[in-house]
Amino acid sequence: TSALVWLRRDLRCDDHAALYHALRRFERVYCAFVFDTDILDALPSRCDRRVEFIHASVLELHEALQQLAAHGGAPGGGLIVRHGPAVRCIVQLAQELGVQEVLANRDYEPEAIARDRRVAQALQAVGITFSDYKDQVLLERDEVLTRQGRPYSVFTPYRRAWLQRLDAFQLRPYPVARHARHLAAPPAGERLPALEELGFARTNLHELHLPTGMRGAQRLLQDFAPRMAAYQEARDYPGRKGVSYLSVHLRFGTVSIRRLAALAAAQAEQGCAGAQTWLSELAWRDFYFMILWHHPQVLTQSFKPEYDGVQWDEAPDLWQAWCEARTGYPLVDAAMRQLLQTGYMHNRLRMVVASFLTKDLGIDWRRGERFFAQHLNDYDLAANNGGWQWAASTGCDAQPWFRIFNPVTQSERFDPGGRFIRRYLPELARVPDAHIHFPAAMKPVELAACGLRLGMDYPLPVVDHARARERTLMRFHFLGAKA
Ligand code: FAD
């Protein structure tokens, strides 16, 4: 008997649900990854850090599968890599290999669900079974429901129920290595395409401190584990190394979510508040996957339908200023430069820039969400949509519309010495701490003292926050009675 494991956003070979089930049930198990042209062709640029990240991780996974097979005493092992439309590639490959079943880990995005349905139908037509498994999240779909049997729409009670449900069974790793002898070698003549053969160019990925693949995830985890205890206190300061930076690895599955949660849960049980808080972040991740699965309409609509009545502004100049990090609000601009230069943005800053776009510039959250989708290495539809709708006050458990972040006080609070700002806005390096958060308030003599020419070296603010705040309150006001 033989089977094919189709890897997608689960680029690892340890603690892997579909791989484990295949190895346990079949004598020969092939593994494949498809560079899906349906996804790649839609990317706006041929220079994309995520494609390079996936490519590097796929190369590493090929070697890891070979080592795993050798460890299990099997000849060969390795990854079959294809480039083309996923549905066609997988059906063809399954037929070429003569397998009885194709196994994959479950996806929760509407387009991926539709793709998997098409694959399942096409496979069924040629007598091959398709099966999928929970792997990407800890608790999925209907596993956490209210007492009335309905999905939660508020995070805090969801987290409480989620924590109760998260027992040792849910956290148990799948012992893939135990069955590694069933790993089959790719057919003769298979080879891995170079990045350029896929039509993509190299990016600055290797200059960033972003190690790829399973080994990269392991390195980041080793770095974060001793810092987890301080997470609660350090996580909100973008100038400090307070967070894990594991999001891109969770996005592409180079690390198992169960492994991370088990580590956090063990430390939390010992009374570690940092681990408890970090575990809650993983609950947010599950929460948004659950929301997307139950409410796929959030893709284009507000979670709370009445908020689709908000009249957003077109504001092309303001939009350009936001995209190009030229708003005149240093924390916003530094955050946007971090995104453009590295593909990462700190969580506090994602909240600040999303609030700024929607509440200060009056621009539709969907445009910001699309911009993030193009630029974030860790872009994940569920979390990104949830985060944007939260910031715009249109989502589930969102921040209330009348609470509007002040970009200057956020800056004073979370980047007190302007360390983060200076890292990404070197033009402000000489501005004294007292003015780093809002140089527009400096007197001419103060500007002269640090050699800053406002409007030339650094832009004047594109909006006045106090006035923008009033406009936003008016914009949302008509909803006040309902909200
Ligand atoms: P850590 O603080 O170390 O957190 C650990 C993990 O928990 C993260 O890797 C992530 O998987 C999960 N997590 C943390 N916070 C959240 C959250 N609020 N929602 C869901 N999961 C969370 N996260 C993405 O993974 N992809 C996105 O596209 C994305 N877009 C966002 C857009 C906006 C407007 C906002 C406000 C948040 C967004 N987030 C997104 C959530 C969060 O900002 C990132 O997960 C986090 O900054 C990643 O850094 P880290 O791995 O160092 O996080």
- Written in H, E and C, the secondary structure of 11-51 is CCCCCCHHHHHHHHHCCEEEEEEEEEHHHHCCCCCCCCHHH
DSSP 125-192: HTT-EEEEE--SSSS-TTSSB-TTS-B--SHHHHHHHHHHH--HHHHPPP-GGGGGGGBPPPPTT--P
Element (H, E) at 84: strand 79-84
Supply the CATH number for residue 224's domain: 1.25.40.80
Q: How far is the CA of 138 from the centre of ligand 1 (A)?
A: 16
Supply the CATH number for residue 10's domain: 3.40.50.620
Whether residue 461 has its Cβ less than 6 Å from ligand 1: no
Whether residue 246 has its Cβ less than 6 Å from ligand 1: yes
Starting at the edge strand found earlier in the chain, the sheet holding 79-84 runs 79-84, 28-36, 2-7, 101-105, 129-133
Q: How far is CA 408 from CA 83, 178, 300, 332, in A?
A: 48, 55, 31, 9
For ligand 1, atom 50, the nearest C-alpha belongs to 245
Q: Which residues pair with 31 in a beta bridge?
A: 5, 79
On whether residue 415 sits in a domain, the answer given is yes
- Written in H, E and C, the secondary structure of 388-442 is HHHHHCCCCCCCCCCCCCCHHHHHHHHCCCCHHHHHHCHHHCCCCHHHCCCHHHC
Q: How far is the CA of 130 from the centre of ligand 1 (A)?
A: 31
Find where tokens 């091959």 sit: 128
Q: Which of 294, 323, 345 is the last residue of a domain?
A: 294
Burial status of residue 184 (CB atoms within 10 A of its CB: 0-12, 13-18, 19 or more): buried
> Looking at ligand 1, which atom is closest to the CA of residue 345?
47
> In whole angstroms, what is the distance from residue 203 CA to residue 55 CA?
12
Supply the CATH number for residue 379's domain: 1.10.579.10
Q: What's the pLDDT score for residue 480?
A: 58
Q: Which structural domain, as residue segments, surrounds residue 325?
A: 305-477
Q: How far is the CA of 120 from the centre of ligand 1 (A)?
A: 31
Whether residue 384 has its Cβ less than 6 Å from ligand 1: yes
Q: Which of 243, 267, 281, 289 to mutate to test the pocket of ligand 1 (most atoms within 8 A of CB)?
A: 281
On whether residue 177 sits in a domain, the answer given is no
Q: How far is the CA of 121 from the centre of ligand 1 (A)?
A: 34
231 lies in the same domain as 350: no
Q: Which residues pair with 4 in a beta bridge?
A: 30, 102
Whether residue 247 has its Cβ less than 6 Å from ligand 1: yes
CA torsion angle for 393, 397, 403, 409 (degrees, to 10)?
A: -100
Q: How would you classify residue 473: left for phi > 0, otherwise alpha for psi between -120 and 50, otherwise beta?
A: alpha
Q: How many residues does the chain have?
A: 483
278 lies in the same domain as 384: no
28 lies in the same domain as 85: yes
Write out residues in the chain with pLDDT < 70, as ranges.
480-483
> Looking at ligand 1, which atom is closest to the CA of residue 354?
34
Whether residue 228 has its Cβ less than 6 Å from ligand 1: no
On whether residue 141 sits in a domain, the answer given is yes
> Looking at ligand 1, which atom is closest to the CA of residue 346?
47
On whether residue 189 sits in a domain, the answer given is no
On whether residue 372 sits in a domain, the answer given is yes
Whether residue 350 has its Cβ less than 6 Å from ligand 1: yes
Q: How far is the CA of 106 from the centre of ligand 1 (A)?
A: 20
Whether residue 3 has its Cβ less than 6 Å from ligand 1: no
Q: Which of 109, 251, 285 to mutate to test the pocket of ligand 1 (most atoms within 8 A of CB)?
A: 285
311 lies in the same domain as 457: yes
On whether residue 248 sits in a domain, the answer given is yes
Q: Which of 234, 267, 294 is the last residue of a domain?
A: 294
17 lies in the same domain as 162: no
Active-site residue numbers? 281, 284, 312, 347, 365, 388
Whether residue 395 has its Cβ less than 6 Å from ligand 1: no
Element (H, E) at 223: helix 213-224
Whether residue 399 has its Cβ less than 6 Å from ligand 1: no
Burial 100-120 (b: 16+ CB within 10 A, else e): ebbbbbbbbbeebbebbeebb
Could you report the per-residue pLDDT of 144-179, keeping only the tens digit for each? 999 999 999 999 999 999 999 999 999 999 999 999
The tokens for 379 are 């872009």
On whether residue 17 sits in a domain, the answer given is yes
110 lies in the same domain as 160: no
275 lies in the same domain as 365: no
Of 49, 102, 39, which is closest to residue 344 (Cα–Cα)? 49
For ligand 1, atom 29, the nearest C-alpha belongs to 384
257 lies in the same domain as 156: yes
Which DSSP category does 358 fall into?
I
> In whole angstroms, what is the distance from residue 98 CA to residue 111 CA?
28
Q: How far is the CA of 348 from the centre of ligand 1 (A)?
A: 10
259 lies in the same domain as 354: no
Whether residue 139 has its Cβ less than 6 Å from ligand 1: no
Q: Which of 135, 162, 194 is the last residue of a domain?
A: 135
Of 462, 290, 285, 475, which is closest to residue 393 (Cα–Cα)? 475
Whether residue 236 has its Cβ less than 6 Å from ligand 1: no
On whether residue 483 sits in a domain, the answer given is no
309 lies in the same domain as 448: yes
Whether residue 203 has its Cβ less than 6 Å from ligand 1: no
310 lies in the same domain as 258: no
For ligand 1, atom 28, the nearest C-alpha belongs to 379
State which amino acid sits at residue 172.
R
Element (H, E) at 70: helix 49-71
Q: How far is the CA of 197 from the centre of ligand 1 (A)?
A: 32
Q: How far is the CA of 286 from the centre of ligand 1 (A)?
A: 11
How many domains in the chain?
3
What share of residues in the chain are helix, strand, coil (percent, to 5)? 55, 5, 40
Of 62, 112, 70, which is closest to residue 87 (Cα–Cα)? 112
The CB-based long-range contact list for 346-353 (8 Å cut-off, 24+ gap) reads: 346/238, 346/243, 346/420, 347/235, 347/243, 348/236, 348/237, 348/238, 348/410, 348/414, 349/238, 350/387, 350/391, 351/387, 351/390, 351/391, 351/405, 352/405, 352/407, 352/410, 353/322
142 lies in the same domain as 279: yes
